[in-house]
């Protein structure tokens, strides 16, 4: 089962994925790293210090990779970790963080003021959640605000375990759309 873990940078996708790899030996594809390692991009955007992902190339590469990993993985769970994951996976978990808290996390990471504000603004207007609704069949939302990475990993683990055991209808607490942070960024 391929499950996407998406969210604005700084919401905790990497931290949670690493914890779940350790805790449950679930396979994780760190898509942003894969894109750079295997040149799955069309051009480099020097100004924004990023690359322009080639989604067609990524989709075909992931088909091979996820088949391989699902065969190898006893649990059959493969987590696709990236802020692009919702363009690929049909089942998506969107991590959220209250923008003022997200700003603190991104400042700690050394992001420029422009990049911090850009991401905080995207988070305040639910940008990734809206894209997830457009692209994905099943969308779950996890609020990471005022929680530890361990607690958030527990939330993600609970969602995946419920999906594996067919108890998706018991996941009301992760139904998307309850957060309204539109006024949280000046």
Ligand X SMILES: Nc1ncnc2c1ncn2[C@@H]1O[C@H](COP(=O)(O)OP(=O)(O)O)[C@@H](O)[C@H]1O
Q: Least separation, in Å, of the C-beta of 8 and ligand X?
A: 7
Q: Cα 48 vs. chain centroid, distance in angstroms?
A: 20
Q: Least separation, in Å, of the C-beta of 62 and ligand X?
A: 18
With vertex at residue 87, the alpha carbon angle to CA 144 and CA 161, rounded to the nearest 5 degrees, is 50
Q: Least separation, in Å, of the C-beta of 166 and ligand X?
A: 27
Asked whether the CA dihedral 143, 144, 150, 153 is positive or negative, the reply is positive
Annotation: binding site for ATP: 10, 12-15, 109
Question: What is the binding site for ligand X (CB under 6 A)?
Answer: 7, 9-16, 105, 144, 147-149, 152
DSSP H helices in the chain: 13-24, 31-37, 55-72, 99-108, 113-124, 127-135, 149-164
Torsion of CA 185, 156, 87, 75, to 10 degrees: 170
Nearer to ligand X, 4 or 12 (CB): 12
DSSP symbol at 170: G
Nearer to ligand X, 10 or 99 (CB): 10
Nearer to ligand X, 25 or 148 (CB): 148
Q: Least separation, in Å, of the C-beta of 147 and ligand X?
A: 4
Nearer to ligand X, 58 or 106 (CB): 106
Annotation: binding site: 10, 12-15, 109
Measured in degrees and rounded to the nearest 5, phi and psi for residue 53 equal: -65, 145
């Amino acid at each position: 089962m391929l499950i996407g873990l998406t969210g604005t940078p700084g919401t905790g996708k990497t931290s949670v994925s690493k914890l779940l790899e350790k805790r449950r030996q679930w396979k994780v594809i760190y898509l942003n790293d894969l894109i750079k390692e295997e040149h799955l991009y069309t051009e480099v955007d020097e100004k924004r210090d990023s690359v322009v992902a080639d989604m067609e190339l990524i989709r075909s590469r992931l088909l091979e990779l996820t088949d391989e990993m699902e065969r190898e993985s006893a649990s059959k769970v493969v987590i696709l970790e990236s802020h692009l994951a919702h363009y690929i996976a049909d089942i998506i978990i969107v991590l959220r963080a209250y923008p003022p808290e997200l700003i603190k996390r991104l400042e700690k990471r050394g992001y420029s003021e422009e990049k911090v504000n850009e991401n905080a603004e995207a988070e305040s207007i639910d940008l990734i959640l809206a894209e997830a609704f457009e692209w994905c069949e099943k969308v779950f939302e996890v609020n990471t605000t005022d929680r530890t990475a361990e607690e958030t990993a527990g939330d993600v683990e609970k969602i995946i375990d419920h999906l594996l055991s067919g108890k998706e209808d018991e996941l009301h607490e992760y139904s998307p759309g309850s957060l309204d942070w539109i006024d949280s960024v000046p």
